[in-house]
Amino acid sequence: MTNDNISAPPPWMAALEYRAVPERAQMTSLLPLLRRLPKGDGHPVLVLPGFTTGDRSTEPLRRLLRDLDYRAYGWGLGVNVGPTQRILDGISERLDRAHGRQGEKVSIIGWSLGGIYARELARARPDLVRQVITLGSPIQMIEHDESSASRIWDSLSKYHAKGFRSPDREADRPRLLVPTTSIYSRTDGVVNWKACLIRKTDRSENIRVFGSHCGLGFNAAAIYAITDRLAQPAGQWQRFSAPWYLRSAFPRARDLDRSKLPLAVA
């Protein structure tokens, strides 16, 4: 590996991914409170799972969003084995279906690799997308960068569609035309947290929480941020500001320093 590569988190951090189990248990225990979060306006929300997972992993989040009056959809494509042509075609069709039922723009939540799909959908079809929220998504990674899942990724790469990943880092690509939020943890044991950062603009932000990569979809702080973002009226997006009594759950976030990529990430 050279200094031009993004490296995986250290092994000791990967070992901390067991925290996803208590994060899931905490979500269950907090459901009575989470169901009292602000209700939505009923717009569609498409939730895309992370690498090697499927709709089962996002079901708790989608069930909560339905309780909050959103029309939440899974992707219905089985296990996320990476960007096969079937998956790329399938998520595009799923976006069309979610939009077409009521003709409303769709918010897309993508966990890890699902967030990379979400951003590509928004880049290709901004007319259908209301906003994008990513959870631990290494959007700055390109070929030859590494994560803790790189070996599995490499073993499945022969099935992946050619040209899905741009040769340029996300920082060097045109900005998305829709509001975007990247939620990340500095103790992410699967992907390097700095690879999750996006450029801060009047329509993009980074939100930092405490937690694991595999538990972000169950993480109470992440869920609060997600529902806060979704509850904003259409066309009135503003950057996240935690209430004073929850500020300790949202440590100060870093924003992408384009001049330090990729060296600062290794």
Per-residue confidence band for 5, with pLDDT thresholds at 50, 70 and 90: confident
User: What percent of the chain stands above pLDDT 90?
Assistant: 86
pLDDT attached to residue 261: 55
- Looking at residues 151-173, what average pLDDT do you find? 89
Alpha helices in the chain (DSSP H): 11-14, 20-34, 55-67, 85-100, 113-124, 150-156, 220-230
pLDDT confidence band for 262 (50 / 70 / 90) = low
Q: What is the DSSP letter of 148?
A: T
Average pLDDT over residues 12-37: 96
* DSSP three-state, residue 76: coil
Give the pLDDT of residue 2.
Answer: 44
Q: What is the mean pLDDT of residues 225-242?
A: 96
Task: Give the mean pLDDT of 142-168.
Answer: 90
Integer-rounded Cα Rg, in Å, for the chain is: 17
Is it the case that residue 4 has pLDDT exceeding 80? no
Average pLDDT of the chain, as a whole number:
93
CA distance linking residue 87 with residue 123, whole number of Å: 17
User: Mind listing the pLDDT tens digit for each residue in 48-69?
Assistant: 999 999 999 999 999 999 999 9
Q: Tens digit of pLDDT for each residue in 32-53?
A: 999 999 999 999 999 999 999 9
pLDDT for 263 equals 43
Coil vs helix vs strand at 198:
coil
Residue 256: band (very low, low, confident or very high) from pLDDT cuts 50, 70, 90 = confident
Please tell me the pTM assigned to this model: 0.95
Q: Topology of domain 11-265, per CATH?
A: Rossmann fold (3.40.50)
Cα gap 58→54, rounded to integer Å: 7
pLDDT band for 133, please (50, 70, 90 cuts). very high
- Region 211-221: mean pLDDT is 98
Tokens 């930092």 — which residue? 208
- Looking at residues 22-26, what average pLDDT do you find? 97
